[in-house]
Structure 1
């Protein structure tokens, strides 16, 4: 066979990798036949072919706007170990200095081992084909940051002071763990006040610079992802951010200033934990009850935060044009990323679940925004 090179690999490996990739788009019988053909070449060649097939699938995924952590979140749990190993193997060849900070952060969090196959080969290769099939089916997403082989470019703003984040995470962790509602309320209020004060301080510091908006995606655990997305939207809108829900993927896209996004993600994650804890102690066990509970919970939290936001004003009028500029930047970024947004209402049909959800939200460990000094 004449030498043929694809992606810098020997021709035989490249050809077998192409067969595995093609198998991902075929029926189970034909796919199994392709897998057996590759397995006949032995563990070393089959492993190289599997790695090459996964590498190409990941390259195409990055081109469709995905990030490493998102790929791990999107695949079935049974494939998470394999996809983590594949991403670690693939990304070792990317120059770290050229990666966007988001890429560097997500890759640093990977705990991966090399992609390896051993006897019996067919089950391992079948799992590779299954993963390639899943990766190829993932849709196009808005590009949030430059890809691994592109120039990093400017970020959406300065990163949040890690010392502030440590304090906030500590306060929210205590609020989530304490059995005393009053203590949890005080801890959550302190965390919100700390982050709100920090947000206004950063607005003062950046007043003379162009205001930028950035975006991220927050992945939700199942079930009941729609009401959980409503809860994220309630927190986002209260913190000057916009959100959009991907029902088929189970994630929420967020657009806002970097500081506001950090606040939103922290508080939304904390509230989701609190709602799950409240639901665990609720009497209802039917799906309709639980769905209504979480929809009502998100609805009431939205009311609380909206009412509170009406009373939050920075003490300095100098911040008014800065915040207006930020709002305009967020709207422009949101429109550019999500030009065809449709609004869909989530309904609830269980009255007792709705009533219990409202009551739980009234006791949620998140105090409304308080008036803070800039």
Structure 2
């Protein structure tokens, strides 16, 4: 290790091990060293690659590192986080050398202190053709439903999207069952979905409702701002798409009219999540019954296939998270509860 690399390493370790009350001074001192050293920023980038690899060994993906940078450091650190976690070069044109070194050290301190987390399960097998085209249609329908000013049009668009989601998932399950993959060969995977402040608890509850309706299981990691959703690939795509759409619709309903208190907003979102859970469960049951009736002439294959997948998802979630705890949310505003329930009834998600 040359002299510059040693100086950068020492600056990083100083920032990494500094107590919370001394972080600013340690980062300033380290950034001064990096900015003054010949090739200091290049050495800091090389060090960042090592830190990122160490994070990957502890279960963190590049997208997780970017999410943590946004959550803990702010929007200004997002693009540098994307560049460093993706293995690209830093492009900090608007910062001087000291500002760039400060940004890098703040990111490296954050990432270097991340603990080990449960690695994501990766499903075996490949993806069948046509999947991406179908998901593109679903995304387009939900985007139109979110943007239109006409409730009837939003309902029609989202009804079509929900129908495509449900049938896509069922068709995937039947194809896997017919190929003999069942619940093992092309097994469940997992992905992390960001749950951003404010009102993270209520938003995690909404994500859990969407996951359950799509035969997935969600586990919320409150300290890191994400939930891990376990399920089959087609269902995971549906969960993320629908959760995002429902959040947009909830935000529109919350910000319509006069300003509301924190208790109102929290109660609104809890009630919204509860009512959405009921509506999605009903819609999922209807779609499964419709598909079962259509394929009954060829033999009752659907229910055993879906049951096998449910068992496989539960087993995968149990392996990944053998210990979980229950989180209780309190409703403190009756008016917020009523408005949240009404907004969920109006939300465009299905027939």
**Shift in Å at residue 53 of structure 1?**
2.4
**Shift in Å at residue 134 of structure 1?**
1.0
CA contact 2:271–2:340 (8 Å) conserved in 1: yes
**Shift in Å at residue 159 of structure 1?**
7.3
CA contact 1:160–1:259 (8 Å) conserved in 2: no
Unaligned 5+ residue runs, structure 1? 5-10, 93-112, 147-152, 369-374
Query: In structure 2, what is the Cα distance between the partners aligned to 1:198 and 1:270?
Result: 18
SS of 1:222's partner is coil
Query: In structure 1, what is the Cα distance between the partners aligned to 2:37 and 2:210?
Result: 55
Query: In structure 1, what is the Cα distance between the partners aligned to 2:280 and 2:323?
Result: 27
Query: In structure 1, what is the Cα distance between the partners aligned to 2:128 and 2:7?
Result: 46
Q: Which sits farther off after the overlay, 16-25 or 214-223? A: 16-25
SS of 1:139's partner is coil
**Shift in Å at residue 137 of structure 1?**
2.5
Query: In structure 2, what is the Cα distance between the partners aligned to 1:155 and 1:20?
Result: 45
Match of 1:33 among 5, 26, 29: 29
Q: In structure 2, do the counterparts of structure 1 residues 271 and 66 end up closer, same or farther at CA, with 3 Å as the change threshold?
A: same
* Larger relative helix fraction: 2
Counterparts in 2 of 1:109-120, with a 5 A limit? 113-114=89-90, 120=96
Q: In structure 2, do the counterparts of structure 1 residues 68 and 119 end up closer, same or farther at CA, with 3 Å as the change threshold?
A: closer
Query: In structure 2, what is the Cα distance between the partners aligned to 1:232 and 1:193?
Result: 19
SS of 1:255's partner is strand
Correspondence for 1:110: none
Structure 2 length-normalised TM: 0.86
CA contact 2:34–2:44 (8 Å) conserved in 1: no
Please give the root-mean-square deviation of Cα atoms over the aligned residues, in Å. Answer: 2.3
CA contact 1:17–1:52 (8 Å) conserved in 2: no
Q: Count the aligned residue pairs.
A: 329
Query: In structure 2, what is the Cα distance between the partners aligned to 1:31 and 1:195?
Result: 48
Counterparts in 2 of 1:1-374, with a 5 A limit? 4=1, 11-24=2-15, 25-26=17-18, 27=22, 28-42=24-38, 45-75=39-69, 76=73, 77-88=75-86, 90=87, 113-114=89-90, 120-144=96-120, 154-155=124-125, 158=128, 161-207=131-177, 208-211=180-183, 212-311=187-286, 312-313=288-289, 314-315=292-293, 316=296, 317-367=300-350
Query: In structure 2, what is the Cα distance between the partners aligned to 1:155 and 1:12?
Result: 48
Structure 1 length-normalised TM: 0.81
Unaligned 5+ residue runs, structure 2? none
CA contact 1:47–1:115 (8 Å) conserved in 2: no
Q: In structure 2, do the counterparts of structure 1 residues 249 and 293 end up closer, same or farther at CA, with 3 Å as the change threshold?
A: same
Superimposed CA distance per residue, residues 125-176 of structure 1 (whole angstroms, 9 cap, x where no aligned partner): 2222111111123232221167xxxxxx935764771111121111111111
**Shift in Å at residue 33 of structure 1?**
3.2
